[in-house]
Structure 1
């Protein structure tokens, strides 16, 4: 799939995040592949997935664009979504259509910053599509300047500076659309059809990513039981 095909196939559509971490009951590349197949049958236009093993299994199961990440925790940094060049290399080798990485201004592992990191990555892989997982408008503006191909609201509400921000953050979505020229993807905090329809209807939104509300039954169950006495 070439770069223009990714954007044409996902424009105005739903992308589903199929992820299960090691401490979750559904942690299995086979299960994530079946999950991806199920959401494809349901109408998803793309998949977001974590780890080389899951991505390879998913690519064998569905013919949809894949946004790939590798979540890895380093002791010297809060950045954990595709944090270093090593994770970038691994994702390129498994052939994902888009690589998403933390694009906040937080220090990366080994003390590197956003600009040094991404300039090296872009120079090494000039034809690879990169998604900037952002928390703020400044993140999105910086990401476009650095050469990212698409920005996402993934990290809004998950950094210290945005911890109290609403999810999804409608103001941030609108601000990004007004201030960057690259496509804007909305991700985070979408738990019902009403919210999905609301963000998808915002003029300029390229696509919407939903994860937990579709593919994480443990979190879905907890969501419905909030405030319910056991």
Structure 2
């Protein structure tokens, strides 16, 4: 079975704790990941080389790895450098995700993809628009994700919730489609699959305890 076959029809748990929060430690991220797999996750999305290195030995499912950076001269945050690709590949990634938007960046998307392929890994394009996905497919991405829909200047106007239109558009391209971003209930995950996603990634609702607690706290105080 290929990596994509193992993810098709499945759930990916994005184990990314709140930055600098009490759970932002590699051993805790690894424990989150193991717990998610025990609960049925078919794959994981892990940020950071140390977190990836801690997680890889304790799980057997595919790992989509990223490295986030806050750059002074670019809005691109997800795996912006060729060196990031190399570090993630060496730490045990099966798939490396990168920002596939058409924005100013330190390395071209084509160069990032070439580095991913050169490391023998699959590439996941984190997209915001149909044009992003079309370009990523031409450059060789194996997975198109809706990850950045709603998080770029071009798409900031779109409402909360899963971007079913983009999922359907990616499906029409014949791509392996990963629904990701703003999927925080089982109902939205099911909606994403109904729209044509091959798999769904859920993060905050599973692994950011501070945020989920805040949702319940707000509901209690509102009553």
Q: Give the TM-score normalised by the residue count of structure 1.
A: 0.90
Matched, 1:107 2:104: yes
Gaps of 5+ in 1: none
CA–CA distance in structure 1, aligned partners of residues 153 and 96 of structure 2: 24
Matched, 1:209 2:201: yes
Aligned pairs for 1:60-99 within 5 A: 60-99=57-96
Alpha-carbon contact 2:18-2:208 (below 8 Å) kept: no
1:86 deviates by 1.1
Cα deviation per residue 1:161-216 (whole Å; 9 max; x = unaligned)?
111213311111111111x222010001111111111112233x210000000111
Alpha-carbon contact 2:56-2:92 (below 8 Å) kept: no
1:122 deviates by 5.3
Alpha-carbon contact 2:125-2:141 (below 8 Å) kept: yes
Q: Secondary structure at the match of 2:14?
A: strand
Please tell me the root mean square deviation across aligned C-alpha atoms, in Å. Answer: 1.8
Aligned pairs for 1:2-151 within 5 A: 5-109=2-106, 112-115=107-110, 117-118=111-112, 120-121=114-115, 124-125=118-119, 127-151=120-144
Q: Secondary structure at the match of 1:191?
A: coil
1:123 deviates by 6.4
Structure 1 residue ranges, 4+ long, deviating more than 6 angstroms after superposition: none
Which residue of 128, 150, 161 corresponds with 1:157?
Answer: 150
Q: Hey, what does 2:213 align to over in structure 1?
A: 221
Q: Give the TM-score normalised by the residue count of structure 2.
A: 0.92
1:95 deviates by 2.3
Which residue of 176, 181, 184 corresponds with 2:170?
Answer: 176
Change in CA separation of 1:68 and 1:119 when aligned onto 2, cut-off 3 Å: closer
Number of residue pairs matched?
221
Higher alpha-carbon deviation: 12-21 or 220-229: 220-229
